[in-house]
Amino acid sequence: MNNKQFSAQIRLETLKELQHRTFGHIGGSMSIVELLSVLYNDIMHVDPKNPNDPTRDYLVLSKGHAGPALYATLALKGYFPLEMLKTLNDNGTNLPSHADKNKTPGIDMTTGSLGQGLSAAVGIAKGLKIQGKDNRVFAIVGDGELNEGQCYEALIFASKHHLDNLVVFVDDNKLQLDGPTKEVSDIGNLDDRFRSFAFDTRRIDGHNEEIIKASTIDALNKKGMPSIIILDTIKGKGIKEFENLTENHHMRFSEDDNQLLDKYIALLEGENNE
């Protein structure tokens, strides 16, 4: 299966998962679909039958609220049955709103309190370096999450320790819960900011699988410094009517929303059956 096809599958399963639950973090889940597709289909060395394989590459979803998209990806990879996606946020579920390493097979770090995941990711990268291991570490942070000061502590650490086994992806979808990131708390020019922290920095189209793949490989080949890939993304990507809606961070689906989701689910199912 190519990355584009895998993206369509992830998007489909994520939408079904969220529609079944009737509410959830749809916007930020949709914006990282292509990234998850490329990482899990083409880049990361992982073994779904042995989620704790010590030779695996690690992923820290620092924007833990995008759990639903990651759960769909992991289920499609075979970490757990697709059927389990229907248990998202059920009482007693193993698929909670925010990623939890102790509940879900394939989740490497518990996240949800923003800013903390990036620190764990640099800790994992440092731990692997100390042990002389060549596993790679990927972290996904949101642009809104970059309001958190702890992110910059982690950047300083990654740079100081030359963590070239770490690639940080910024899901730059330009929106956070209360509105556009520029309006809520303008974090300035991200590219310049990361370069000033001595990160190998690039900005790409976050919905183009080929570009994501090529850039990730480039980043992994960069030695002596950590890398950041800023993904220009659209919050709610794939559902035209939801795209870039300020209210799409967390939605409780109305009747109309449901009909819309039905339409997109049918479209994606058609695509997947081609």
Binding site for other proteins (CB under 8 A): 54, 58, 101-102, 108-110, 112-113, 115-128, 130-131, 133, 149-150, 153-154, 156-157, 160-161
Stated as kind and residue range, the H or E segment containing 140 is: strand 137-142
In angstroms, the CA 103 to CA 4 distance is 29
- Which is closer to other proteins, CB of 133 or CB of 182? 133
| First-last CA distance in the chain | 12
Quick check: helix, strand or coil at residue 7? helix
* The pair of three-digit structure tokens given for residue 216, joined into one six-digit string: 């990730």
- Which is closer to other proteins, CB of 12 or CB of 107? 107
In angstroms, the CA 65 to CA 213 distance is 24
Least distance in angstroms from the C-beta of 104 to other proteins? 13
CA angle 141, 64, 252 (to 5 degrees): 115
Least distance in angstroms from the C-beta of 105 to other proteins? 15
Least distance in angstroms from the C-beta of 196 to other proteins? 17
Give the largest CA-CA distance in the chain: 54
- Which is closer to other proteins, CB of 62 or CB of 233? 62
- Residue 79: partners with Cβ closer than 8 Å, 6 or more residues away: 48, 51, 104, 105, 106
Least distance in angstroms from the C-beta of 127 to other proteins? 3
- Which is closer to other proteins, CB of 74 or CB of 166? 166
- Which is closer to other proteins, CB of 73 or CB of 116? 116
- Which is closer to other proteins, CB of 91 or CB of 102? 102
Sign of CA dihedral 174, 177, 180, 184: negative
* The pair of three-digit structure tokens given for residue 244, joined into one six-digit string: 């870039």
The answer to whether 120 and 60 are in contact (CB under 8 A) is yes
Least distance in angstroms from the C-beta of 254 to other proteins? 33
Least distance in angstroms from the C-beta of 202 to other proteins? 24
